A = this chain, B = another copy of it.
């Protein structure tokens, strides 16, 4: 029963006041900088005396606080207000194939507690789910944050997730209820579940370069290939939350490899860290040479990260493989740019280490499929939030679901 859990269905003055207070908090959270009474009154379309009253009540409630005065050209300097960073907290949990991360964020989305467990292995079993619950419980205690002040827990999990219902289709799918409902019952707080790719998109929209962009694509290229879509200023989730299934798209391509989805020729079989490992091994088998060969005894099971590093160090084979991948990715993205006409394309993930190589490759691929006008209108940038983006997204997920961010 925190500030955000009031039921505002009934129409009366008390609920109207509450709605306005909530709007003030939301405006302050979204603004990124502290605001004045006049600012807030304009934002919530009310008179200054009433706005003042609401703000004072929010201060008394410990939700917002004064934050100095604004330097102005002339006139009396207005007092600035912002949301108290310690008014409440969000918890974010990122469940990866190998490893699980737990984070507590304050209202300024600063990480105030973190614990990574690298020994965790994600399996579709009840025991694994129990381990997750246990891990979350232990860390909530360890973080020392008061339970009542946690607004909710955002869970990021790899695989397919139905955002609307909060069920995971890839893991923990044998529960009687949705994953989010199950965890809610176990942990006794709000729980929201989404997949890692969407959370990177959310982080990019909230903290990153897509902040004030209405239409953007966020590509996440690491061992897998993911895509987040922002259209009309909103993250696109689709009917079941499956939107962004980019890795299984079938574009023009030379390859015809079998994908885990059962189909042949999926983009992910050509463009992904996994695909890079495979094609590297193939090339070596076919007699080509690489610096990596001499450094390691075996050429099989070379992690794609090493191939990227080798490319950065000038290894010709690795450069050409990554270039080819980027080119194919660019062609595929070009089709999506035609379809959605985004102003911005953000490339994130582990491959961004090889910036120059991948950038040039994507660009030349894009030219082959993108119409000139949408191409000119679309800026290509690299993610600025780094590989930790997904984790920041888990915390942001709670605030987004509460509609205060």
Asked if A245 and B45 make an inter-chain contact with CB atoms under 8 angstroms apart, the answer reads no
Chain B residues near A82: list those with CB within 8 A. Answer: none
Asked if A243 and B339 make an inter-chain contact with CB atoms under 8 angstroms apart, the answer reads yes
Q: What 1/0 mask marks residues of chain A from 249 to 274 whose CB sits below 8 Å from any chain B CB? A: 11111000000010101000000000
Does A368 make an interface contact (CB < 8 A)? yes
Asked if B231 and A339 make an inter-chain contact with CB atoms under 8 angstroms apart, the answer reads no
Q: Which of A47, A236, A378 has the most CB of B within 10 A?
A: A236
Does A312 make an interface contact (CB < 8 A)? no
Chain B residues near A335: list those with CB within 8 A. Answer: 249-251
Asked if A232 and B231 make an inter-chain contact with CB atoms under 8 angstroms apart, the answer reads yes
Chain B residues near A248: list those with CB within 8 A. Answer: 338, 371
Asked if A368 and B263 make an inter-chain contact with CB atoms under 8 angstroms apart, the answer reads yes
A336's closest neighbor in chain B, by CB? B339
Q: What 1/0 mask marks residues of chain A from 322 to 365 whose CB sits below 8 Å from any chain B CB? A: 00000000010011101111110000000000000000000000
Given contacts A11-B47, A45-B16, A371-B248, contact A229 B341 (CB under 8 A): no
Asked if B236 and A232 make an inter-chain contact with CB atoms under 8 angstroms apart, the answer reads yes
Asked if A249 and B11 make an inter-chain contact with CB atoms under 8 angstroms apart, the answer reads no
Asked if A249 and B373 make an inter-chain contact with CB atoms under 8 angstroms apart, the answer reads no
In angstroms, how far is the closest chain B Cβ from the Cβ of A263? 7
- Residues 359-383 of A at the B interface (beta carbon under 8 Å): 368-369, 371, 373-374, 377-378
A215 to B241, CA, bound (A): 11
Interface residues of A (CB under 8 A from B): 11, 16, 19, 41-42, 45-47, 160, 169, 214-215, 227, 229, 231-232, 234, 236-246, 248-253, 261, 263, 265, 331, 334-336, 338-343, 368-369, 371, 373-374, 377-378
